[in-house]
Structure 1
């Protein structure tokens, strides 16, 4: 059965109240400035305020409206197949510290909800990593053993609630699922009640590191602070070139009400089929909301609309009668060694910090980051996993191939995309409701035609490092295939590392000398 025009928005965004914190209107001086209002940024600001710091948080849009508002909202220390790999490559102690830090993040959410009286729809459930391929059962047994050795309540099982057979699964007890925005909004209210400052619609555009950090914003106001934290998911100010060690990845999400009696209660994920993640959320007395995530791809590549169709078909095939009511997408960044970067941004700084590279597990990782960064900045005892996540760690020799492959891919896009001839010869050839990169007046322009046929043209060069953007028709956005920056059809920034919009272009505007390669 075909779905009736599902809402092109995250369920978490439409089922929680809107925020209305003011933009920054004047220069300000505080102890710490936090850039980014997702779970990592808000948790960091909240922990610091509790430690006696005066904190200002800057968010380019609305708090919780970035990756945190578009996640599948699984709060777990079971991160697909991480523990066997960690134990093999970095030793059993690294795996233990990873498990301890991530499970601490899970439990800390429960403590915060209880303390604040937050109705975040928190449910304690088991988490599973499953595989359908019999040939890979050995991986699951090794993962269960490594996760159990690392301290998690892990076991290997062969039966699940899923409506199809699996070859096996790793099951970990005492995990959680929740409503991420309701959780963040409760933290934000408490932060402000305690004297913290939140500024929305305040994009940070400059960051100067030193004995005092200075953050400039798009409307001219400046924040000066002893310490600064960049918690923008993809680091928009990259003093350590971390973007060269991060690979952006986009995943799609569909949601559909299903009868409560047939809804799985546990949380499930498999790396097979370009990822499939399944969980449900409370909806009403008779239904739960089935949330299915998958179809991983790099921004600016592939047909997102077709991938949405594939994910919806998989959902309906396994849950007959499920009618998709919402669909959305989220973006993650994978580090070369599979571990986040949380701590001092680069070897030369004492006052600039970063939290990034969560690889799809930014909820437990974001909470962990808040506690770790607060210990760095406020001077409390640092947890045992501090060095595990240190951004200044050197890449392991085993990760060299991954880094080289990533940079080769960037190089192919940077050079190869300029050599490809557009399949569209002029703006008039672009169908309404679509977009394409077209050469206009000797320059490549990103042109979008709205459903009425009116066209908007912007530069096709990403303002981060100049790669050519590509159009994502399913989300009506321009995406950079090199480092994952995303822009609205009018050129405004949706997601970093870019901080400046795509420059506007006039249709029919003549080219300028030296810009034929644009």
Structure 2
């Protein structure tokens, strides 16, 4: 996948695994979460390797809008209501720590990655009251946030939240500086994991501990993450002759949840998201381009791409032990739309857990939590899977057998159940599947 980030950076190439090896810790996945985790584990004195099925940073990290924020949509009022104040404070603490660590790490390692501090805004065109409630919850949790109707946006808003001291950067330039210090095996696809042993298409890895940082966990059991998450796609345009934005923006209204930020001379404009596998009509990029022309008549699209996000039942990532019984497997997944901040938060917490240090915020992110209020969402996921499995005919996903749907916008076969994706030839693009799909005639 080519994006503005891949076109303005060049990461080093790493060889595939050539033979079976041993390590204290094996990290599966060479995106932001996996590389950060490996980096901190190495700093802690661990013998760690990274296994990446494609190229480092080639997955969701390459498709991010690269905002480093704690403005995770309208989450804080909901956390107060559903999880309680104590857990809400731990969520804030983990993400504040992550935001601060990016700046610290960039300074320590002297990384040139277009890092800049700015504010982050969530805006609504229709409902000022929901914005005010979110501001009240955020301030109560110790966040620097304020209500305002003044923004840089090319339209007026009913209300917005301004989160101060947030940041943006070039994710692949940042990743490059860390990856160069690690032992990484690229083009090494993990096909299975057992206790203490990882199977790949290039040899086996013996590891005392395993970290699943592959965006979506590839092991169905134990853990059953396929029953506790779904995936969503979103689309981004890089525009010239649009508008320079000093700050970051995201809409919270359904159908108007557009994202705005600048990178160098480009305006990044995103939106038109949908659940993976539910895009049979296409047209997302054209819709974005039409909207962009409404805002900036003379703008020009110079790049476009899409990304995919894992959504948990309660909007909180799963970070911690893969299961309660296996004390050597760890997982980092379900980051929603906030992959950059969540990647750092996950890397810090997992490093502490593997090194047997106190991780004060870990409980709120525990994959073993059972949020009662999320049972309705779990039922919806179950119904989606049942529908996909029962659908007659068609090409089937090798993950659990759901019927794939054709995505005309990107010319891919997408799974509406769990979000695996394949190109038109059936070659795997996105997990949880680990094998190609059997496309007729291929």
**Is contact 2:218–2:433 with CA below 8 Å preserved after alignment?**
yes
Deviations 1:286-308 (A, max 9, x none): xx211111111112212464121
Matched ranges for 1:199-238 at <5 A: 199-209=185-195, 213-219=196-202, 221-238=203-220
What is aligned with 2:432?
497
Deviations 1:20-70 (A, max 9, x none): 100001000010000001111111100000000010100000011100110
What is aligned with 1:56?
49
In the alignment, structure 1 residue 418 sits paired with structure 2 residue 405 = no
Query: Displacement, 1:271?
Result: 2.4
CA distance in 2, matches of 1:411, 1:278: 37
What is aligned with 1:392?
368
CA distance in 1, matches of 2:437, 2:84: 45
CA distance in 2, matches of 1:111, 1:486: 36
What is aligned with 2:258?
276
- TM-score, normalized by length of structure 1? 0.83
1:325 counterpart SS class: strand
Candidates 1, 11, 16, aligned match of 2:9: 16
**Is contact 2:384–2:416 with CA below 8 Å preserved after alignment?**
no
Q: Please, what is the CA RMSD of the aligned residues?
A: 1.4
CA distance in 1, matches of 2:189, 2:256: 34
In the alignment, structure 1 residue 164 sits paired with structure 2 residue 155 = yes
Larger RCO, structure (CA 8 Å, separation 6 or more): 2
What is aligned with 1:375?
352
What is aligned with 1:512?
none
In the alignment, structure 1 residue 70 sits paired with structure 2 residue 63 = yes
What is aligned with 1:84?
77
CA distance in 2, matches of 1:413, 1:27: 38
1:63 counterpart SS class: coil
- TM-score, normalized by length of structure 2? 0.97
Candidates 450, 474, 483, aligned match of 2:418: 483
1:339 counterpart SS class: coil
Distance 1:26 1:267, change over 3 A: same
Work out the number of aligned pairs and report it: 440
CA distance in 2, matches of 1:103, 1:156: 20
CA distance in 2, matches of 1:366, 1:216: 25
**Is contact 2:217–2:432 with CA below 8 Å preserved after alignment?**
yes
Query: Displacement, 1:71?
Result: 0.6
Query: Displacement, 1:257?
Result: 1.8
What is aligned with 1:401?
376
What is aligned with 1:474?
409
Candidates 140, 143, 149, aligned match of 2:134: 143
CA distance in 2, matches of 1:208, 1:387: 26
CA distance in 2, matches of 1:104, 1:289: 29
Query: Displacement, 1:13?
Result: 1.2
**Is contact 1:34–1:231 with CA below 8 Å preserved after alignment?**
yes
Deviations 1:476-509 (A, max 9, x none): 22111110001122222111000011136437xx
Question: After the TM superposition, which parts of structure 1 deviate over 6 Å for at least 4 consecutive aligned residues?
Answer: none
Greater displacement, 41-50 / 269-278: 269-278
CA distance in 2, matches of 1:304, 1:20: 38
What is aligned with 1:431?
none
CA distance in 2, matches of 1:471, 1:503: 14
Deviations 1:166-193 (A, max 9, x none): 001010100000001111111111x33x
